[in-house]
Amino acid sequence: MTRGHGSAAEIRAGLDHPVIDSDGHLIEFLPAVMSYLVEVAGQQAATRYGEWMRQNYAPTPERQRDERIMKLPFWTLPTKNTRDRATAGLPALLSERMEELGFDFSVLFPTMGLGACEVDDDELRPALCRAFNRYNAELLAEHSGRLTGAAVIPMHTPAEAIAELDFVVRELNMKVVMPATYVRRPVPAAERRGAGRLGEWHDTYGLDSDHDYDPVWRKCLDLGVNPIFHTGTLGVGTRRSLSSYVHNHLGHFAAAGEATCRALFLGGVTRRFPELRFAFLEGGVAWGCRLYADLVGHFKTRSRPALESCDPARVDRDLFEDLYRRHASRMLRDRVAGPAFQDPQVAATERREDQLDEWRSCGIETAEDVRTRFVESFYFGCEADDPLTGWAYASTMNPLGARLRTLFGSDIGHFDVPDMAQVLVEAWEPVEDEKISAGDFRDFVFENPVRFWTATNPGFFRGTSVESAVEAFLPRQPSCAPPSTPS
């Protein structure tokens, strides 16, 4: 099909709504970040970070193979388009180019800072996160009308998360927070046997954590910020190829988001904090559609009432013995002595009523409850070239007619965007190809971002280039007023 628009600016000019980019990226000038780290924690912290970087990003070939360290990211930043490379690090230039790119407002996440919350040094990690947050806040302060930055929130303990949440919101006036999607923790038995990180599990907060993270979610609610996750799973599980970065990179953001989304839902976090919204960036929405469908299906077969069909006590043993006697092969009759009916699960596991209802924490009573809770609580970041974004709007395909909520993410600054000026053109192509409607596109780039960013902070867009459009869309909201002062 012949494209109807030649540029992002022309596409934007034809829209009756703004375009909100919920996932662009800053490329940091690391010497400046390191100067902040020295201010926060001293020169020794900067030295330790340099050593951590060498250990994790420059292992010897022998150590890489011996410890099965994945092939590390390489050539991940655009360079041939020098103007774009500079744009990703210089907010003044990005702000100047917003009309050319077709964007009205952008939320910018760090690049090197994405890994700050994964540092396993308990003293260095919070200091490093604070240094990146100060850098981003001060770099973007003069451009708040069009740009805002995301703060990195360490999550190894609720206390360190709450401390940084308070600091970035109250002291730095930041309004976007990015908690680590999960925390790698050692398995105690493996640690005792000297296995180290070869024996680890991933704490996704909602289920089975040794820590109570509800105070973190409560703090987010009090401060008027929604958690938005942007940590991947490079080097985790099957993503540890020594030779192929592509093998490791495929689907890694989706895998991380899916694990935490499952835990938040089944652990009852969305029930206890129904006002909060959680977003998962850069993994698309296809995994969200699959998880939603699986949750509905599992509720129908694994809810407490449905499990009655699997209760071993309900077997008619006389009938089973009769059927066995008449239909079992000679081999089975020769090899199975005693009563024919045996349930190894019953023999191995004591029946515990408190373990049978796995939906009790999330308070789900019907499949419709699954739909309501899932659709209202979760948002999914999709890039312009993702061919499966339309699945979110396929209400005839998604169980119970659901439409999932997508957030447009440009991913500018990273290797998959060789030309920033083509991002909106790619995002618009499914409309021209009649794969999604203009209304779906409006949801994608405007209405869903407004719903997400204003859910706990009606004043999120106050003083920005899109304030009047947001006010018109949310006429019943308190006119983009700032959130009430947290207690």
* Helical ranges in 358-464 per DSSP H: 367-377, 423-432, 438-442, 448-454
Dihedral, 247, 253, 109, 265 alpha carbons, nearest 10? -170
pLDDT of residue 304: 87
Dihedral, 260, 399, 409, 427 alpha carbons, nearest 10? 160
CB atoms within 10 A of CB 377: 23
What is the tens place of the pLDDT at every residue in 308-364?
Answer: 888 877 888 889 888 888 998 889 888 887 666 676 655 445 556 667 888 989 989
Residue range(s) occupied by CATH 3.20.20.140 in the chain: 8-302+365-473
Largest CA distance in the chain: 83
Rounded (to 5) percent helix, strand, coil in the chain: 50, 10, 40
What is the tens place of the pLDDT at every residue in 176-234?
Answer: 999 999 999 988 776 566 655 557 889 999 999 999 999 999 999 999 999 999 999 98
What is the tens place of the pLDDT at every residue in 240-250?
Answer: 899 999 999 99
State how far the Cα of 461 lies from the Cα of 147, in Å rounded to an integer. 10
Place of tokens 């806040």: 137
Indicate the CATH number for domain 8-302+365-473: 3.20.20.140
Phi-psi category of residue 413: left, alpha or beta, with phi > 0 → left and psi -120 to 50 → alpha: left
The model carries a pTM of 0.92
Q: How far apart are the first and last CA of the chain?
A: 56
State how far the Cα of 251 lies from the Cα of 232, in Å rounded to an integer. 9
214: enclosing H helix or E strand:
helix 214-223
Above 70 in pLDDT, residue 274?
A: yes
Above 90 in pLDDT, residue 7?
A: yes
Q: Decide: helix, strand or coil at residue 278.
A: strand
